[in-house]
Structure 1
Amino acid sequence: MATVSPVRRLFRDFPLGSLVLALAAAEAGVRLLSPRTRPVAPAEIDLRDYFSDEEIRRGARFARPQVALGLARTAIDAGVLAAVALRARRAVPGRGRAVPGRGR
């Protein structure tokens, strides 16, 4: 009895099959979990009914730096991911040499 299932030929020789299967599963999940009815349209309101002019200005000042923080975090995440990928690539011993028993 084997502990690892053999990879079917479709997924071994045609990696696009795995991608198509993953996309189909994601689409099925979206369709199953999305609401059947459309959401109710929000009512039109005037912000000044609930907030003072100073509070509205303060909120606008708060929102602008949030975009910059989000972009900075994305840049840092991308840099860390690239560094980890490059480090892992260098750490693989014998990369680029023939693998014994591979048959090519």
Structure 2
Amino acid sequence: MPGCYRLGWRHGLVEEVSEARDVGVNSIVLFPKVPDALKTSTGDEAYNENGLVPRTIRLLKDKYPDLIIYTDVALDPILLMGMMASSEKMVRHTCHDLF
């Protein structure tokens, strides 16, 4: 997408959020790029308390407690086969577990 780019949780993200806050932006959306080595057929990384997204949220909330953070909950960043190959089966499975 034009104007969108990746920032590392250690390099660039905090600075970008700081600049955004300076001009009045106080909410962000995180779209993770999980390393391929952490992807599994069951999306185990989604439950990792020290995974990329939880770690990034903690980093930003420690620095900016009032920052509003939205996260991408799609499973494709953590699944070996991506979202399209498994979405129908996983949604049915998840809904069954919830209800």
Larger radius of gyration: 1
Q: Could you tell me the TM-score, scaled by structure 1's length?
A: 0.19
**Relative CO higher for 1 or 2, CA cutoff 8 Å, sep ≥ 6?**
2
Between Structure 1 and Structure 2, which shows a larger proportion of strand residues?
2
Q: Could you tell me the TM-score, scaled by structure 2's length?
A: 0.20
